[in-house]
Each structure stands twice: as C-alpha cells, then as structure tokens.
Amino acid sequence: MQPNTLLDAILDEAGVSHAGLAAHVNQAGKARGLALRYEHTAVARWLKGQRPRGQVPDLICEVLAARLQRTVTLDDIGLGVPGQEASPAATSLSGFVERATALWRSDMQQRPHVLGAAAVTGTPAVMPVWEWENPPEDVDVSRGGRHPVSKSDIAMLSSARAHYEQMYRKTGGVATRARIVGFLNAEAAPLLRGSYTDAMGRQLHRATGGLVAIAGICAYDSDAHGLAQRYFHQALRLAKASGDRGLGAYVIALLVNQSLFIREYRQAVAFAEAALRAAGRHITPALAADLYAMQAKAYAHLGDGSSALFCIRRAESAAERIHPGHEPAETGYVQPGLVNVQVAEALLSLGDLAAARVHSAAAVDTPAHDRGRVHRLAVLSQIELRRGEAEAAVATAVEMARQARGMESQRLRDRLRAVREHLVRSGCSGTEEAAALIDGALRVPL
C-alpha cells in the first residue's frame, strides 16, 4: 500500500482540510440516500493508500470537481478502479509527471504518510524494472506547455545534480534531501510541464532523472525507504523517457544497493542482471564493476560462494577498464577503492577474513570522498575485530569517528553504532576512547 500523493495534492489545490472533505463526502452521500459518517481519520487512511469503499471515490470526485470548477476523475485522485485499464491520460508520460510532482510536493511538506511508507516488495517492486527493460518505448516525449525549455535550463539541472551530490557526500542525505526536494518543486516541476521538442524533452528527462535519483539516495540515507524506492522508480521512468539505457542501469544499481540493505538478496541479484542485460554496450566499466560487486555481496549472503567469487572476478576485471574521463557524471561514485570495499564485504560474509582484510586495507589506502572513507574504515574495523586484531580495530574506529563528525546520515549512524557495539563486546584496551568519539559523532542531530 503506497501513499496517495495525487489525492493529497488535489486536496491542497482545492483548499480542503481532511475534516472538510469528510464532511462534504457525508453530505454528498446523503443526497444519494447514503448514511455516511466519515471523519478526518478516514481521510488520513485514504492518504496512506487505503481505498474508500462503494461510491465514496465517486463522491470525492464530485466534491472536488464542485470546488475546483472542473472535471475530476478517479485517476486524478489516485483511485482508478483496480483491474480496469487506466485512462490514457493516467498512463501517459504527462500523467507520470503529475504523479511524480505530487510526490515531490508531499515530501517537501513533510507528509507523514509519505515519509513513513515502507518499501514495497514482490511484484510492485519488480514491475518498474520490468517496464524499463521491455517495450513499448516512448516514441515522442515533446510537450506543449506555456514556457519553452532551453539548453540553459538543462545545464542548470545538471549543475544542480552535481552540487547536491557533493553536498550529500560531505554532509549526508538528511541535510541534503530538503534542499534537493525544494529544488525539484521550484525548478524541475515547471520545466517538465513546459514546452519542448522531442530532442529537448529527452535531455530534460535525463537531467531530471539524475536529480531525482539523488533525491532517492538522500531519502535512503534518511531511513525513508518507501520514499527512496518511489524516487528510484521515478528516476527509472525518466531514464526510459530520455532513451539513455546507461542512466537506467545506474538507477537500477541504486535499487540493488537498497535491496541489499533490506535483505532482499535474490531481488538484488535479479535487478543487477536486468541492468547488465538491458544496458548492454551502453553500460560503462565503472557501473558494471559496481553491479558485479553488489551481486557478489548478494550471492555471499545467500551462501552461494562459487557465484560470489565469479562476480568478484567480473567486478575486478571491469574495474581495471575504468577510464574516469569516459564515464558519465552519475558513475563518479565508483571511485578507486570502491570495488575493493565491496569485495571485502562479500568475502567477509563468506568467512574469508584474510582476503577480506587485504581488500579492505587497499580500499582505506585509496583516497575517497568523506562519506566513502567513513564506510571503508567501518568495514576495515569490523574485519580487524573478526581477525582478533583488537588494537588495530580500535585505531581504525577512532579515525572513522573523527571522519564522521558533522555528517547527518542515518546509514553512517548505523555503521558507527555497529562498530561501537563490536568494540564494546571485544573488551580490548582503548575501547573507551573510541566509544566516546563515536558517541560524540552520534550526537549530531538528525
């Protein structure tokens, strides 16, 4: 059950409160001979994704149509009839734009039913990937809005993506998300509703897709997994509209990473396979290396050592072919050492501590951005503890805690807590200093 952001958006447009909508629906139902007694709590449930029974969806349309002085359909309020084919407007690219921008608006307004939604699994999680990989393609993405979109607009979106990515790396997703979502609402949404040719539209959808992917990363880093997943699915749809298979594969890599975190390991393997298969020659060595490395981690968690080792070899082979000047901006996160730390985690799951130690140390010895360095140090500290190298683990944890100061990231907080817990359990000398530094880093408010 996903939040109904379309209903949320149209209620805001109509200026109707939850209690007001309930009262108007009751009144409209009375005119039809229905004895309805809805209150604001019922509207809150509808916004969380529950479908009203009987004639109530039609009554909501009736109430809002009278308020807005225009026709309002079930698709407009996110209550299209299950099992029936949606209207062309609802399934079109323009319909997607309206649903996407409704989500951005709800996120910007901190709607609890959006922020607290859980990630979906099974068919709802798989379908966006299947739809990206398979026909039909978008034949024409042009649009006839009021304001023409120019090349300078595309350049602005691309620059914003780079800016927010760097902000995320330095300060974490918690602080960055509000800013990027505000930008999506203020700048990207009007452009998507603007006027553009097919060629310009493809550039616009690509640039917006890159931004939306960063918003998803920030939501993931804030522990809003349902929201992050919806952003990734949006970015995947935008990638398809752009015609850029490489961008789509990058977005799927983000879904693979999230699948690993929520322990959907078979889904992680399948998604990575889809990206590698569908992107084909459009996939870059950096992205291929990351996808194979994440597949190795998934296989390791599933206990399939031979498949994990096969993927490790493929990841290392792809990493050797990386040429930074020939990679798109999105794959800049695949910095030297990233594959090493991914491989180290896979080997750790397989119990090969000696090889994991070699790869993890190599990752730490390679320069990385602030966020990546904290992650690498956390993995190394964990491996050192598993190997009985207590003093080295404490020293690594101290460096990690110092590096993490000032970052607002739920994922890094998880890392810090895990390292602290392992250190305390070990009871080795120096633990108190490391634990105190970690506690200090954790005191940064989220």
pLDDT for position 198? 97
Who wins on pLDDT, 222 or 69? 222
CA distances to 59, 138, 349, 359 from 392, in Å? 67, 55, 21, 16
10 Å CB burial of residue 227 (0-12, 13-18, 19+) is: buried
Q: Tell me, yes or no, whether 270 lies in a domain.
A: no
pLDDT digits (tens, 9 = 90+) for 110-126: 888 888 889 998 999 99
| Rounded Cα distance, 10 and 47, in Å | 11
Q: Tell me, yes or no, whether 218 lies in a domain.
A: no
Q: Which residue type does 166 have? A: Q
pTM of this structure: 0.85
- Residue 435, both tokens: 């634990």
Q: Which residues span the domain enclosing 16? A: 5-88
pLDDT band with cut points at 50, 70 and 90 for residue 81: low
pLDDT band with cut points at 50, 70 and 90 for residue 85: very low
Q: Are 299 and 307 in contact (CB under 8 A)?
A: yes
| Rounded Cα distance, 118 and 51, in Å | 18
52 Cα distance to chain centroid: 29
Q: Are 189 and 141 in contact (CB under 8 A)?
A: no
| Rounded Cα distance, 298 and 29, in Å | 52
Q: To the nearest whole percent, how much of the chain has pLDDT over 70? A: 96
Q: Tell me, yes or no, whether 42 lies in a domain.
A: yes
- Residue 295, both tokens: 């597949």
Q: At what angle do helices 173-183 and 410-426 cross, to 10 degrees?
A: 170
pLDDT at residue 84 is higher than 80: no
pLDDT digits (tens, 9 = 90+) for 149-160: 999 999 999 999
CA-nearest of 100, 113, 373 to 215 is 100
Average pLDDT over residues 101-115: 89
What's the domain count of the chain? Answer: 1
318 Cα distance to chain centroid: 25
Q: Which residue type does 214 have? A: I
| Rounded Cα distance, 270 and 277, in Å | 10
Other C-beta atoms lying within 10 Å of the C-beta of residue 369: 15
Q: Are 107 and 227 in contact (CB under 8 A)?
A: yes
pLDDT at residue 87 is higher than 80: no
Q: Tell me, yes or no, whether 28 lies in a domain.
A: yes
Q: Tell me, yes or no, whether 81 lies in a domain.
A: yes
Q: Which residue type does 385 have? A: L
Other C-beta atoms lying within 10 Å of the C-beta of residue 178: 14
pLDDT digits (tens, 9 = 90+) for 21-75: 999 999 989 888 888 899 999 999 999 889 998 889 899 998 998 888 888 888 8
pLDDT digits (tens, 9 = 90+) for 311-364: 999 999 999 999 988 899 999 999 899 999 999 999 999 999 999 999 999 999
Q: Tell me, yes or no, whether 54 lies in a domain.
A: yes
SS (H, E, C) 344-409: HHHHHHHCCHHHHHHHHHHHHCCCCCHHHHHHHHHHHHHHHHHCCCHHHHHHHHHHHHHHHCCCCC
Q: Are 356 and 383 in contact (CB under 8 A)?
A: yes
Q: Tell me, yes or no, whether 370 lies in a domain.
A: no
CA-nearest of 192, 207, 171, 18 to 104 is 192
**Which residues is 148 bridged to in the sheet?**
195
pLDDT digits (tens, 9 = 90+) for 274-320: 999 998 888 999 999 999 999 999 999 999 999 999 999 999 999 99
Q: Tell me, yes or no, whether 406 lies in a domain.
A: no
Average pLDDT over residues 238-242: 97
pLDDT for position 15? 84
